[in-house]
Structure 1
Amino acid sequence: MRAAVFHGRRDVRVQEWPAPPPPGPGELQLAVVRAGICGTDVEEFASGPHLIPLSEPHFASGHRGPLVIGHEMVGEVVATGPGVDGFAPGDVVVPGSGVSCGDCRWCARGQTNVCRRYYTLGLHVDGGLAERVNVPARISRSVGGLAPDVAIMAQPLAVALRAVRGITPEPDRTVAVIGLGGIGSLAVAACAARGVRTIGVDVSAGRLETGRRAGAGLLVDASRTNAGAAIREATSGHGADVVIEASGATSGLVTAMDAVCRGGRVRLVGLHRDPSPLDLTRLVLEEITLDTSKVHICDQDLPEALALLTAHPEIATTALDDVIPLDRLVPDGLERIERGDAGGKVVIRV
């Protein structure tokens, strides 16, 4: 089969690759229809491997060596493994991205995204940028009547929904979202769907336009203005009640700290690998809460994402930049996103 295989930094090859074996107990085999590119995929390509276990076996999945990337996918069920109920060949499903053990104390509490043996499709085991992939049935959900180009947004929207969970509309509440890429723009859309006032921040004109379409009430071009000051000016000098940092850039974290109000909250969604510039003293003196949001909880966030897309399919249209063939993954997908030329999600037609 054809697949996009990570071999090392700046070395992703669309090549022939062994098809997966028949699905094992509790598994589905999917013929992939659409696959999405995430910022994590781009980071692995540009500067990795950070998460992909090329040289040492992953502690949970056991995988070592080159692997098929892609953890956002929609596929048609072509085979089911032993013990699978509720799915049959021909069903179109979207899987979550993370696999949890189901037995540890965190899984028992419903915190499957911090499972002690958690691993991710397309990062720690072969993923969905391929013609076929095996996935656990328990993290898969039927897409109903959603078109593939809409359903492909379900997994990243689930991540965005977890990032905005607990944020409810209030007359004077403002949420700032820094970084309007795939997750950030969907976080704006999720806030807008709930009636929460949002301010979107980015340095890319294309991504700012995506943020506008997603429903941001105010847009700040951080390449031209001091974003923290602009957010304070727009909030009567107070700052934003919640700042979602989705860029993963050090400058984004600096802006988040500049923009958050006293008693507010900074929520980290983007992965930060550089040393942190956090002012811990200010966090304490102004009782600012710093928390994080990791991926999604499949049982909670994925069904909500599918329901939201069913009610508001325009969210997917807003977030979509382009649909490209698998053979154009590197130049028109990974490299284009790395350059900052993509205004939204780039989706692969497999």
Structure 2
Amino acid sequence: MKAARYYGRGDVRIEEVPEPGAPGEGEVLLQVLRAGICGTDVAEFLHGPHFAPLQERHPFSGHQGPLILGHEFMGRVVALGPGVVELAVGQRVAVGAGMWCGVCRWCQAGRTNLCARYYTLGLQADGGLAELARVPARMCYPVPEGCSDEAAALAQPLAIALHALRRSRAQRGQTIALIGVGGIGAFLLAAARALEPALLIAVDVDARRLERAAVLGASHLVQASSEDVLQALRQLTDGEGPELVIEASGAASAPALALAAAQRGGRVLLVGLQAEPRALDLHAAVVREIELLTTNAHVCPVDLPEALVLLSRGELAKQVIDRVIPLERLVPDGLLALAEGQAHGKILLDPQS
């Protein structure tokens, strides 16, 4: 079968690999219909390996060596392993990708994204950028009728946004600023809009991303490349600053900006991953009693079904998808297009084309 395998920095190959074989206990075999790529994939391609266990065996997934990428995907069930009764052959499913043990204290508390043995398909085990994928059944959820393959492929990143918004404790009628409306940021914006905030301010350096933010429901736009962001946020909030600032860009200066922008007694949620440690003015944050929260991944049984419901009801998929490309074009039209700013929305792949 065809698959996109990661060999190291700048080295992703579309090649023929053995099929994954019959599903084992608690597993299903999927024909992958659509898969997405995100900033994590681009960072691994440009600067990695950060996650892929190329040289040493991963302690929980057991994988070592070249890795099939893809942690955002959906497909059709073609075979069931022993013990799988909740799914059926022929059913379309979305995949959560993050695997949890179910027995550690974090799993027992319902925080499966913090599992002591957590790993992610497409990052620490073979993923979905292939014609076929063998995956644990418990991370698969049926795609509702009327939900397109393209929309269902967005369930995993939308689930991350829904989990992040829950972590932020955002409330109806608040003033909210979102820094970075790229991949996850666009989903965060759409989810925050459903809360009917008093103000929903989108901040980005890219004018086209801001145009999409307006379509997704942002009430105000701030272009960071040409405006003083801190001054603009204060002007829009009567000098106080937003009640909630969500940082989803991963830009080096963004965490400090988010802390400075939040109003007294406000809250900051960090979503974007930083490449290295950053200096923050914690003295000012303490004096102004700013809450600083972080978020990671999603809780599959909670967030993925909700994401599928939302995707089946609206136009979100059409608003955020930039293009659908064949697997052979992953590097030039996918990874490099994102890295060079030539794409302004989600890029999906069709491994069957």
Q: Is the 8 A contact 2:25 2:83 kept in 1?
A: yes
Q: Is 2:39 the counterpart of 1:34? A: no
Q: After the TM superposition, which of the residue ranges 290-299 and 194-203 deviates more from structure 2?
A: 194-203
Q: Which amino acid aligns with 1:90?
A: G
Q: Is the 8 A contact 2:256 2:281 kept in 1?
A: no
Q: Is 2:128 the counterpart of 1:125? A: no
Name 1:59's counterpart in structure 2: 59
Deviation at 1:194, TM superposition (A): 2.3
Please list the CA deviations of residues 310-349 of structure 1 after superposition, one character each: whole Å capped at 9, or x if unmatched.
222x111111111111111111111111112211111111
Name 2:135's counterpart in structure 1: 135
Name 1:158's counterpart in structure 2: 159
**Structure 1: 4+ residue segments shifted above 4 A:** none
Name 1:195's counterpart in structure 2: 196
Q: Is the 8 A contact 2:144 2:309 kept in 1?
A: no
Deviation at 1:254, TM superposition (A): 2.8
Q: Look up the SS of the partner of 1:250 in the other structure.
A: coil
Q: Is 2:205 the counterpart of 1:168? A: no
TM-score (norm 2): 0.96
- Alpha-carbon distance between aligned partners in 1 of 2:332 and 2:254, rounded to the nearest angstrom: 27
Matching residue within 234, 255, 258 for 1:256: 258
Q: Look up the SS of the partner of 1:3 in the other structure.
A: strand
- Alpha-carbon distance between aligned partners in 2 of 1:240 and 1:59, rounded to the nearest angstrom: 42
Q: Which amino acid aligns with 1:86?
A: E
Q: Is the 8 A contact 1:177 1:199 kept in 2?
A: yes
- Alpha-carbon distance between aligned partners in 2 of 1:318 and 1:259, rounded to the nearest angstrom: 28
Please list the CA deviations of residues 50-79 of structure 1 after superposition, one character each: whole Å capped at 9, or x if unmatched.
111111111211111110001000100000
Q: Is 2:303 the counterpart of 1:301? A: yes
Deviation at 1:252, TM superposition (A): 1.9
Q: What is the correspondence of 1:1-350 to structure 2 with a 5 Å cutoff?
A: 1-145=1-145, 146-165=147-166, 166-170=169-173, 173-196=174-197, 197-312=199-314, 314-350=315-351
Total equivalences in the alignment? 347
Please list the CA deviations of residues 202-249 of structure 1 after superposition, one character each: whole Å capped at 9, or x if unmatched.
111222122122111111111111112211111111111111111111
Q: Look up the SS of the partner of 2:253 in the other structure.
A: helix
- Alpha-carbon distance between aligned partners in 2 of 1:287 and 1:258, rounded to the nearest angstrom: 12
Q: RMSD value over aligned CA atoms?
A: 1.0
Q: After the TM superposition, which of the residue ranges 65-74 and 243-252 deviates more from structure 2?
A: 243-252
Q: Look up the SS of the partner of 1:74 in the other structure.
A: strand
Q: Which amino acid aligns with 1:276?
A: R
Q: Which amino acid aligns with 2:268?
A: V
- Alpha-carbon distance between aligned partners in 2 of 1:240 and 1:133, rounded to the nearest angstrom: 44
Q: Look up the SS of the partner of 1:150 in the other structure.
A: helix
Q: Which amino acid aligns with 1:339?
A: E
- Alpha-carbon distance between aligned partners in 2 of 1:191 and 1:15, rounded to the nearest angstrom: 40
Q: Which amino acid aligns with 1:263?
A: G
- Alpha-carbon distance between aligned partners in 2 of 1:349 and 1:65, rounded to the nearest angstrom: 25
Q: Is the 8 A contact 1:206 1:342 kept in 2?
A: no
Deviation at 1:257, TM superposition (A): 2.1
- Alpha-carbon distance between aligned partners in 1 of 2:285 and 2:62, rounded to the nearest angstrom: 40
Identity %: 52
Q: Is the 8 A contact 1:229 1:258 kept in 2?
A: no
Q: Look up the SS of the partner of 2:265 in the other structure.
A: strand
Q: Is the 8 A contact 1:204 1:340 kept in 2?
A: no
- Alpha-carbon distance between aligned partners in 2 of 1:187 and 1:230, rounded to the nearest angstrom: 21
Q: Which amino acid aligns with 1:18?
A: P
Q: Look up the SS of the partner of 2:176 in the other structure.
A: strand
Q: Which runs of 5+ in 1 are unaligned?
A: none
- Alpha-carbon distance between aligned partners in 2 of 1:20 and 1:90, rounded to the nearest angstrom: 18
TM-score (norm 1): 0.97
Deviation at 1:279, TM superposition (A): 1.0
- Alpha-carbon distance between aligned partners in 2 of 1:58 and 1:240, rounded to the nearest angstrom: 42
